[in-house]
Amino acid sequence: PEGHFELDGKPIDTAKDEALSFLLKAAALCNDARLRRHKLDGKYQWEIYGDTTEGALVVAAAKAGFQKDDLEAKYPRVDEVPFDPKNRYMATFHRISEGKFHVYVKGAPETVLEMCSEILEEGKEKKLTPQRMEEILKVSTQMASEALRVLAIAYELIDAEKLAHVRDGLQRGRIKLVFVGLAGMLDPPRLEAKSAVQLCKKAGIKVIMATGDHKLTAEAIAKEVGILEAGYRVLTGADLDGMSDDELDAVINETAVFARVSPTHKYRIVESLRRKGHIVAMTGDGVNDAPALKAAEIGVAMGITGTDVTKETADMVLADDNFASIVNAVEEGRVVFENIRKVVKYLVSTNTGEIITVIAALLFLPGIPLIFTPVQILWVNLVTDGLLDKFLAMEPKEKGVMEQPPRKPKERIINRDIMLNIAYVGVFMAVGTLWMFTAGYNNGGLQKAQTLAFTTIAMFQVFNALNCRSRTTSVFKLGLTTNKYLLAGIVASVSLQVLATLLPPLQTALGTISLSPIDWLMIVLISSSVLVAEEIRKLVRSKLERRV
Residue pLDDT tens, the chain, 548 long: 788 888 888 888 888 888 899 999 999 999 999 888 877 777 778 888 888 889 999 999 999 999 999 999 999 999 998 888 888 899 999 999 888 999 999 999 999 999 999 999 888 899 999 999 999 999 999 999 888 989 999 999 988 888 888 888 786 767 789 999 999 998 888 888 899 999 999 999 999 999 888 899 999 999 999 999 888 999 999 999 999 999 999 999 999 999 989 889 999 999 999 999 999 999 988 788 889 999 999 999 988 878 888 899 899 999 888 888 999 999 999 999 999 999 999 999 999 999 999 999 999 888 788 899 999 999 999 988 888 999 999 999 988 889 888 888 888 889 999 999 999 999 999 999 999 999 999 888 899 999 999 999 999 999 999 999 998 899 999 988 899 999 999 999 999 999 999 999 999 999 999 999 999 999 999 999 999 999 999 999 888 877 76
CATH 3.40.50.1000 placement within the chain = 193-326
Collect all residues with Cβ–Cβ distance below 8 Å to 135 and sequence separation of at least 6: none
When the candidates are 2.130.10.10, 1.20.1110.10, 1.10.260.40, 3.20.20.70, the CATH number that belongs to 335-547 is 1.20.1110.10
CATH 1.20.1110.10 placement within the chain = 335-547
> What is the pLDDT, as a whole number, of residue 108?
92
Question: How far is Cα 277 from Cα 195, in angstroms, rounded to an integer?
Answer: 26
> What Å distances lie between residue 386 and 13, 50, 354, 490, 524, CA to CA?
75, 51, 15, 11, 21
Q: What is the DSSP code (8-state) at residue 66?
A: -
CATH number listed for the domain at residues 5-186: 3.40.1110.10
Q: In degrees rounded to 5, what are phi and psi of residue 335?
A: -65, -45
Question: How far is Cα 36 from Cα 55, in angstroms, rounded to an integer?
Answer: 11
> What is the pLDDT, as a whole number, of residue 285?
83
> What is the pLDDT, as a whole number, of residue 231?
87
> Given the DSSP bridges, would you call strands 10-12 and 77-84 parallel, antiparallel or unpaired?
unpaired
Hey, what CATH class is 193-326 in? Answer: alpha beta
> What is the pLDDT, as a whole number, of residue 322?
86
CATH 3.40.1110.10 placement within the chain = 5-186
Tally of CB atoms within 10 A around 81: 19
Q: What is the CA radius of gyration of the chain?
A: 35
Collect all residues with Cβ–Cβ distance below 8 Å to 487 and sequence separation of at least 6: 480, 481
Q: How far from chain centre, in Å, is Cα 117?
A: 46
> What is the pLDDT, as a whole number, of residue 370?
86
pTM, rounded to two decimals: 0.77
